[in-house]
C-alpha cells in the first residue's frame, strides 16, 4: 500500500437508513480521495449489534451505487486490508486492546452495572458529566487473573491521565485543546467481546491506512480520546475533517425519528440523484464562486475540504426543488420522457400522446412527483366555477366568454386533421375576424377544456392532447355552464 496515497473511508452503521448527513460524509470522503488521486474505502461498522437492521447493508450498497460514489475497496469487492466488516475483525481489536493493557494505557474493569448506575446517579445529583472513577485500575495482576479465571464479566477501558492537556488539530475547527481531567476512561472492548465504535474505528483507520478521517462535528469531543490511542500505539494521527451538522431549521437537526427524508426517500419523491448529490455537496461547503450546478466530475476537480464551513447547514427543500428543476431542464426531451412515463401510467387511465405531454411538462417540472397533479384534468373535467372565465388581464367577461366559445365551436368542428398547427391557424384566423384580443378567445377555451386556473400548456396544446371529440364536448359543457348562470 502506497504510504503517500490519500485514503479516505465511509464507515456507516447498518441501521437501515441512509440519511442526508451520512451521504454528505460519504460524498466529502469520496471527493477528498478522488481530488487527490486516492482511494475511497467502504467499511461496515456493525459493532453495535442491538442497532443492526436486517438488509441494511444492502441499503448502503444501493445508496452508494445510485449516487455514483464507487468505492475502491469494501466488503463486496474485497481489497488488501480486509475484512471490511467490523464484526469479522473481533480478534484484531482484542489483540490491540491487550497490547494497551500491557503498556498501562488500558485496564480490565469488572464493575457491575449496579455500581456504574450508582456512579451515574451521583453525577446527576452533582450535575456533573458522568466519568468512571478508575476503581478497577488499582487491581493487581493476581486479582485480575482470579476474576478472569472465575469468568467474571468485564470490559477493557482506556486509561486516560487525570492531569495535563491533549491538543489536536481539525482542518475545519482548527486547534482544539482539552483538559485531560475531562476525559472519561472510555470502554474499548465491551463485555460481549465486541469493540466499541470509538476503539474499532481508530484501529481500523490505522490498519487500513486511512489518511483523512471525515465525520460529523459531533465526534469532535471524542477526538482527544482517539488521539491518545494513536499516541499510545505510536501511530501517526490522520488528518481530521469534522463537518458541521445539517439542520432542518435553526434549532433542529435532521432526524430519522422526526420523519426527515433519507437519500432513498428523496429519489422516491421524484428528485434526480445528480441534483440531490449536487445539493448535498453545498450543505456546508462553498467553492468560493457563484456557481451552484456541478457534475460529480466537476466536484472532484474543484473540491477543497478547507472550504468546508464551521456553521451548521440548513436543509432547504425549496432550494433542492429549484436545483432539481434545473437538472430536469438539462435533460434531453427523450431522457425526461423516459423518467416521466411511469408517472403518466400511474396518473392517467386513458391513452394520450405521451410525448406531447412531455413536451409541455419538460420545462415546467421541478420534481417528478409533481407530474400527476399537473395532469389531473385530462381523464376527467373537474368541477369548476364559471367565475374562472373572468380574467382581468385577459379582459374577459361572461358575455365575451360565451361569444368566443360559441364562435370557436363550429371552427373546431370543421378541422379535419386535428393537430397543433391546424388548431392554432384556425383559431388565430377567427380571432382576427372577430377583432378581439388573443386572451379573450384563448382564456375561455383553456378554462373550458381544463377547468383549471393553472395548466402545463395553453389552449392549443391542451386541445391537441385531449383530441377533437373531447375538446368539443368540454367546450359545449362550458357554453352550457355560462348560459345557465346568466
Q: Is 256 annotated as a binding residue?
A: yes
Asked if 243 and 254 touch (Cβ cutoff 8 Å), the reply is no
Q: Are strands 212-216 and 239-243 parallel, antiparallel or unpaired?
A: parallel
Question: Around Cβ 195, how many Cβ atoms within 10 Å?
Answer: 27
Residues catalogued as catalytic: 256
**Half-sphere exposure (Cβ direction) of 293: Cα atoms closer than 13 Å:** 11
Distance of CA 200 to the CA centre of its chain: 27
Residue found by looking up cell 430519522 in the block: 256
Question: How many distinct helices (H) and strands (E) make up the chain?
Answer: 19, 11
Residues 231/166, Cβ–Cβ less than 8 Å: no
Q: How far apart are CA 188 and CA 62, in angstroms?
A: 31
Element (H, E) at 55: none
3-state secondary structure 187-214: EEECCCCCECHHHHHHHHHHHCCCCEEE
Beta bridge partners, 85, equal 44
Residue 113 CB-half CA count within 13 A: 3
Decide: 96 and 232 in contact? Cβ < 8 Å.
no
Radius of gyration of the chain (CA): 32
If you search the block for the grid coordinates 457491575, which residue do you land on? Answer: 112
Q: What is the DSSP letter of 381?
A: P
Kindly give the pairing relationship between strand 155-158 and strand 7-10: unpaired
| Residues 75, 87 contacting (CB under 8 angstroms) | no
And the C-alpha cell for 413?
368542428
Known binding residues are: 256
Binding site residue list for ATP: 256
Amino acid at each position: 500500500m502506497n504510504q503517500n496515497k490519500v485514503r479516505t473511508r465511509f464507515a456507516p452503521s447498518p441501521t437501515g437508513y441512509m440519511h442526508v448527513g451520512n451521504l454528505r460524509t460519504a460524498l466529502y470522503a469520496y471527493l477528498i480521495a478522488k481530488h487527490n488521486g486516492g482511494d475511497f474505502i467502504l467499511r461496515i461498522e456493525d459493532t453495535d449489534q442491538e442497532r443492526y437492521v436486517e438488509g441494511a447493508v444492502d441499503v448502503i450498497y444501493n445508496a452508494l451505487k445510485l449516487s455514483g460514489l464507487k468505492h475502491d475497496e469494501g466488503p463486496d469487492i474485497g481489497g488488501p486490508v480486509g475484512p471490511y466488516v467490523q464484526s469479522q475483525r473481533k480478534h484484531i481489536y482484542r489483540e490491540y486492546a491487550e497490547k494497551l493493557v500491557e503498556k498501562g494505557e488500558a485496564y480490565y474493569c469488572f464493575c457491575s452495572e449496579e455500581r456504574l448506575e450508582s456512579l451515574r446517579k451521583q453525577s446527576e445529583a452533582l450535575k456533573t458529566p458522568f466519568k468512571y472513577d478508575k476503581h478497577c485500575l488499582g487491581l493487581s495482576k493476581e486479582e485480575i487473573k482470579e476474576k478472569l479465571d472465575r469468568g467474571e464479566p468485564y470490559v477493557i477501558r482506556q486509561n486516560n491521565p487525570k492531569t495535563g492537556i491533549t491538543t489536536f488539530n481539525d482542518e475545519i475547527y482548527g486547534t482544539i485543546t482539552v483538559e485531560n481531567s475531562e476525559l472519561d476512561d472510555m470502554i474499548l472492548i465491551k463485555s460481549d467481546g465486541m469493540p466499541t465504535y470509538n476503539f474499532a474505528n481508530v484501529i481500523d483507520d490505522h490498519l487500513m491506512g486511512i489518511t483523512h478521517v471525515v465525520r460529523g462535528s459531533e465526534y469532535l469531543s471524542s477526538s482527544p480520546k482517539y488521539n491518545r490511542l494513536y499516541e499510545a500505539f505510536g501511530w501517526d494521527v490522520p488528518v481530521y475533517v469534522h463537518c458541521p451538522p445539517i439542520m432542518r431549521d435553526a434549532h433542529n437537526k435532521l432526524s430519522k425519528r422526526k420523519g426527515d427524508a433519507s437519500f432513498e426517500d428523496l429519489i422516491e419523491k421524484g428528485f434526480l440523484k445528480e441534483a440531490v448529490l449536487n445539493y448535498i455537496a453545498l450543505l456546508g461547503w462553498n467553492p468560493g464562486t457563484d456557481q451552484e450546478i456541478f457534475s460529480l466530475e466537476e466536484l472532484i476537480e474543484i473540491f477543497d475540504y478547507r472550504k468546508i464551513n464551521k456553521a451548521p447547514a440548513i436543509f432547504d427543500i425549496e432550494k433542492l426543488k429549484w436545483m432539481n428543476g434545473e437538472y430536469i431542464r438539462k435533460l434531453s426531451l427523450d431522457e425526461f420522457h423516459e423518467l416521466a412515463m411511469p408517472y403518466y401510467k400511474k396518473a392517467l387511465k386513458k391513452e394520450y400522446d405521451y410525448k406531447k405531454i412531455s413536451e409541455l411538462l419538460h420545462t415546467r417540472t421541478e420534481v417528478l412527483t409533481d407530474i400527476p397533479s399537473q395532469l389531473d384534468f385530462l381523464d376527467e373535467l373537474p368541477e369548476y366555477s364559471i367565475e374562472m372565465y373572468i380574467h382581468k388581464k385577459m379582459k374577459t367577461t361572461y358575455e365575451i366568454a360565451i361569444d368566443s366559445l360559441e364562435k370557436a365551436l363550429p371552427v373546431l368542428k370543421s378541422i379535419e386533421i386535428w393537430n397543433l398547427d391546424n388548431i392554432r391557424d384556425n383559431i388565430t384566423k377567427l380571432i382576427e375576424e372577430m377583432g378581439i384580443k388573443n386572451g379573450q378567445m384563448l382564456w375561455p377555451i383553456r378554462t373550458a377544456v381544463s377547468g383549471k386556473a393553472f395548466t402545463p400548456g395553453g389552449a392549443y396544446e391542451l386541445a391537441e392532447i385531449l383530441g377533437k371529440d373531447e375538446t368539443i364536448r368540454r367546450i359545449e359543457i362550458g357554453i352550457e355552464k355560462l348560459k345557465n348562470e346568466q
